[in-house]
Structure 1
Amino acid sequence: MAQATASRRSEYDRRDESAAGKGKRTVVKTDAESGLEVTAVDSIRAVDRARWNDVVRSARCGSVFHRYEWLEAIETGLGHPAKHLLVEKDDNLIGLLPNVVVDIEKTPFQRLSSAYPGFGGPVITTDIAESLSLLADAVPDLCTGRTIVHQIRGLDTDYLRYNNALRSEGYRPYRRECRFVLDLSRGYEAVKDDMSKGRRRGIRKGRETDHEIIETELTRANIERFYQSYRRVMDRVGGDIYPFSFFEALRGMESRVLLLTLRIDGEYAGGCLQLLDEERNAVHGFFAAIPREYYDDHASELLYDSVIQWGLDHGYETYDLGSTNASFEDGVYRFKEGFGGQPIPILVWERGCSPLWPLVRAGRSLYWPHHFD
């Protein structure tokens, strides 16, 4: 076994040389009985793109948010430090746990998140129980300095299959947000029938305007125009603004991005940027930018309706309208609820990696009193 381990390490050395300047690999856990080895990498570019995406495609829980290109955009466009974990068996990549380090709002601390923005969690093709246990054992080694907690944000209820295993490893569920998901497989009329009267009226009124909605190429100029509108909207509502570099980095996954542009009376009236999740056969609403002066023209309803019809035309089964606080008092919640989607809780698990975490967790309940475990 010692000889085999030495051989494996030589292979890692060769890979490190081939990926010079693109990140480093560190073996953090091994299991001689199962032959599994967990490696940490500090950049997605330390891993072969095809090998990474093959696991995402093959694993049950893989999604567009696990793909190499999305994680590369987070790393290069947002500057979040990467601490991804890989599981290999006999030199075959069989599992992934993507992680980035992000700030914990209203504190001087950080969390290790799988992943943010978007969703993450483990994707494993075989030896699931053993791989999951090794990944959990490796996580504390990644939490150093101000990084005091590991958080897993699962995309959908498929991640419930890991709940008991995660809880046995010290993870606690945390619920604060939800998503509204439309079932497109029923057809347009069925989807429309489930909308509120207000949403249907908004679509009808919007269609009476002189408008057009265009599927827009992801050029730098088009992204800049969308970003200017997006920034104004976020400034007005006091939301966090992603830098332009992140939007530009999304050009690296152009085939998975849908950018729609709305024009009313020939003038730019906003747009929306959606992610195309072929792994889950879903369209994910991610960014919308509607100037206030076009609210009375029902620009939002027009764009959402257009995405629904685009998804139907291209054979997608669901349209995920995106995240919102799980509260009927929240305006975004009520707006998305009006489209008739099914509210799905966002599954989050957290595991403290520092004695400071219980204090931060207790303080969080003061400004998010409605979360529950």
Structure 2
Amino acid sequence: MSLTIRPVEREQWQEFLQGISRGSLFHRWEWQDIIEAGFGLKVNRLGLFDEEGILRGVLPLAERKMSLLKLGGSSLSGTATPHSGPLGEAALPEVLSALEDYAAQKHFDYLELTLPDLTGKEIVAQQGYTVEELLTLDLVLPQDQESLWAGLEVRCRNAVRKAEKSGVEIIEPQALEEWLEPYYALSCGVYRRQDKEPPFTREYFAALWQKLYSVGDLVVLLARYEGKIIAGGIFPRDKNVGYYLDGVSDRDYNKVVPNNLVQWEYLKRAQALGIELYDMVGANIPSIAKFKKSFGSVERKYLYAYRNRTLAARVGRTVYAKHAGTIKKFLKRS
């Protein structure tokens, strides 16, 4: 079966996603709106059509210009989108062939893809992509709170108790103005402690709230201690899958372990919402992976692949790998 890639209107995109049984947040039309607003890029909402014009899959392809290069990704690095790629019943070889035709037509210099597991690794590599295995952590939620609590490691349960006994309170904001500024300040602090430019803008956080909270698909939790906001987390969902999208904290208050309590309070809410799977999004930094595993989550490998389609892209990626920090700071100022 040969495929053709072309843009899809919102109604057809939405109808296709409604037929998918498991949640897929990062394929939602609203998610593309969020990253367009938050990162200043364009997302091409593409459909995978067979010879009879039947829609067999969808592919959100983010597009960004970097100097003279045209970059495309599903997902594209730096867009807070850990999982994306083609979604649907179309066979991967046909999808990759159609994507190559589209990329040539639209003059993309570089492509990135993420795929949910490792089954397509050899196929993607054969198409000229460099393929890497990445990790996330999944937690299947039991139906009762007692089992949920029992699934936490002892050290995690002790940390939750310590936070509660120390007087840490968990707040669930009901309006954007209740959390945006304190959360954004903590986010900036997290990255600046690492001498990095904060990747998230106020516009990104606001778009998350505006697009997802109004339909009941976003939970934001803040930890307050002695009248001060010291930590927080952002937890969107789609259907029966919840995600740990982002978390922040003030390390001066690590002694009262607010992050453990934030996670525990979210897990209880997730159960009440009928969420069956909690994707904790990322396990490639050992210290963060250790924290996430303490809640009972297990590793799942998925694929990240990239392809330099032009010589300029090959040279550009080499330069970027060596000088990424300097380039990011320059782009931030310009």
Per the normalisation by structure 1, the TM-score is 0.72
Partner of residue 210 from structure 1, selected from 157, 164, 167:
167
Structure 1 unaligned runs (5+)?
Answer: 1-32, 42-46, 369-373
Map of 1:96 onto structure 2: 58
Taking structure 1 as reference, are residues 229 and 108 closer, same or farther at Cα in structure 2, changes over 3 Å only?
farther
Partner of residue 74 from structure 2, selected from 102, 114, 117:
114
Once residues 56 and 229 of structure 1 are traced to their aligned partners in structure 2, the CA distance between those partners, rounded to angstroms, is: 35
Letter in 1 for 2:299: P
Alignment of 1:335-346 (within 5 A): 335-346=291-302
Partner of residue 234 from structure 1, selected from 191, 195, 198:
191
Map of 2:329 onto structure 1: none
Map of 2:33 onto structure 1: 72
Once residues 61 and 137 of structure 1 are traced to their aligned partners in structure 2, the CA distance between those partners, rounded to angstroms, is: 30
1:271 Cα shift?
A: 1.8
Preserved CA contact (<8 Å) 1:143 1:353? no
Map of 2:327 onto structure 1: none
Once residues 103 and 259 of structure 1 are traced to their aligned partners in structure 2, the CA distance between those partners, rounded to angstroms, is: 32
The reply to whether residue 249 of structure 1 matches residue 214 of structure 2 is no
The reply to whether residue 222 of structure 1 matches residue 179 of structure 2 is yes
Q: Which protein is bigger by CA-based radius of gyration?
A: 1
Preserved CA contact (<8 Å) 1:60 1:123? no
Aligned residue for 2:142, secondary structure, equals: helix
1:270 Cα shift?
A: 2.8
Partner of residue 137 from structure 1, selected from 80, 86, 101:
101
Once residues 23 and 93 of structure 2 are traced to their aligned partners in structure 1, the CA distance between those partners, rounded to angstroms, is: 17
1:184-228 Cα deviation digits (max 9, x unpaired): 137544444444433222111112133432332242443233222
Preserved CA contact (<8 Å) 1:62 1:123? no
Once residues 189 and 364 of structure 1 are traced to their aligned partners in structure 2, the CA distance between those partners, rounded to angstroms, is: 49
1:306 Cα shift?
A: 0.9
Preserved CA contact (<8 Å) 2:142 2:148? no
Once residues 340 and 62 of structure 1 are traced to their aligned partners in structure 2, the CA distance between those partners, rounded to angstroms, is: 21
Preserved CA contact (<8 Å) 1:143 1:149? no
Letter in 2 for 1:273: I
Taking structure 1 as reference, are residues 305 and 352 closer, same or farther at Cα in structure 2, changes over 3 Å only?
same
Map of 1:308 onto structure 2: 267
Preserved CA contact (<8 Å) 2:23 2:238? no
| Larger relative contact order, structure 1 or 2 (CA cutoff 8 Å, min sep 6) | 2
Once residues 188 and 180 of structure 1 are traced to their aligned partners in structure 2, the CA distance between those partners, rounded to angstroms, is: 20
Aligned residue for 2:310, secondary structure, equals: coil
Taking structure 1 as reference, are residues 111 and 325 closer, same or farther at Cα in structure 2, changes over 3 Å only?
farther
Alignment coverage as a number of residue pairs? 315
Aligned residue for 1:346, secondary structure, equals: strand
Partner of residue 269 from structure 1, selected from 201, 222, 230:
230
Letter in 1 for 2:73: S
What is the aligned-residue identity percentage?
A: 22
Map of 1:354 onto structure 2: 310
Alignment of 1:323-334 (within 5 A): 323-325=282-284, 328=286, 331-334=287-290
Letter in 2 for 1:170: G
Aligned residue for 2:245, secondary structure, equals: strand
Aligned residue for 2:311, secondary structure, equals: coil
Map of 2:332 onto structure 1: none
Taking structure 1 as reference, are residues 143 and 195 closer, same or farther at Cα in structure 2, changes over 3 Å only?
farther
Structure 2 unaligned runs (5+)?
Answer: 325-334
1:40-98 Cα deviation digits (max 9, x unpaired): x5xxxxx5323212222324786110000011111122112334432345555432211
The reply to whether residue 290 of structure 1 matches residue 243 of structure 2 is no
Letter in 1 for 2:203: S
Preserved CA contact (<8 Å) 1:55 1:125? no
Preserved CA contact (<8 Å) 1:212 1:262? yes
Letter in 1 for 2:74: S
Per the normalisation by structure 2, the TM-score is 0.80
Map of 1:171 onto structure 2: 129
Letter in 2 for 1:247: F
Map of 2:113 onto structure 1: 152
Preserved CA contact (<8 Å) 2:136 2:282? yes
Map of 2:330 onto structure 1: none
Taking structure 1 as reference, are residues 277 and 249 closer, same or farther at Cα in structure 2, changes over 3 Å only?
same
Partner of residue 184 from structure 1, selected from 126, 141, 158:
141
Letter in 2 for 1:315: G
